[in-house]
Amino acid sequence: MDPHPEAAGLLNIHKPTSLTSFDVIRKVRSILELKRVGHCGTLDPLATGVLLVLFGRATSLASQLVAGEKIYRATMTLGVQTDTGDCTGSIIQRTDSRKFSEVQIRSALKQFEGEIQQTPPIYSAIKWKGRRSYEYARMGIEVPRPPRFVRIDSIDLLNFSESEIELRILCSKGTYIRSLVEEVGTALGTCATVSGLIREKVGHFSLEGSIPWNELLRMDRNQLLYRSIPTATILQP
């Protein structure tokens, strides 16, 4: 039983690279001395940025928060494809580097705006028969991953070079940026993988209001509760 069952709220935490989303949950549980702690939307170990963590009775709001639009800043490396869809995986394909014009890149990006169908990556957290897809992938087993419809509201081209393209993406819940990057690479006539990913916003929660990981590590229970958002105001913009 939790020693502090009355505690409830939300924490906007800036997850650093190399940690899993569950690593963040584990740390918050330890500081708050609570068992009922969960996050809204998994971030891959490579990714950084906004990770919303709910605790206590506030966990009942998870589905409403997950439904919020998200903004990502992604860096895609051209000419490389990996088994995981990002630079942490093993390379399974290479293509010769070629320089794309701004017009070519914008034309390719335009194809993915609106409602599109995506197949989740094999290395993803979706479940099949009670286990995560990435668990099967690590055993070399490919499981069914039914395509799903997601919405891409906008893809802004921030920067590009012969080997990399940087994008800002406004999208719906359930969008896999790794899949999107691979599809954009294919549309350009090459292959591509994610080499950097930052989640800048979830709903009305942004990086500007997040708690840096190094700061969180120095907090005690009272300090962390002070930085939390009360249940009654979580859904208010």
Question: pLDDT band at residue 118, thresholds of 50, 70 and 90?
Answer: very high
pTM of the model: 0.91
The residue annotated as part of the active site, out of 44, 83, 153, 156, is 44
Q: What does the alpha-carbon distance between residue 87 and residue 89 come to, in Å, rounded to a whole number?
A: 5
- pLDDT tens readout for residues 20-65: 999 999 999 999 999 999 999 889 999 999 999 999 999 999 999 9
For residue 65 the two structure tokens come to 């928060």
Give the largest Cα separation in the chain, rounded.
60
Is 44 an annotated catalytic residue? yes
Q: Which segments of the chain belong to CATH 3.30.2350.10?
A: 9-67+203-233, 70-201
Does residue 79 contact residue 191 with C-beta atoms inside 8 Å?
yes
Question: How much is the pLDDT for 120?
Answer: 81
The domain over range 70-201 is classified in CATH as 3.20.20.120 = no
Question: How much is the pLDDT for 124?
Answer: 67
132 against 166, higher pLDDT: 166
For 9, counting Cβ atoms within 10 Å of its Cβ (0-12 exposed, 13-18 middle, 19+ buried), the class is buried
Q: Which CATH architecture has domain 9-67+203-233?
A: 2-Layer Sandwich (3.30)
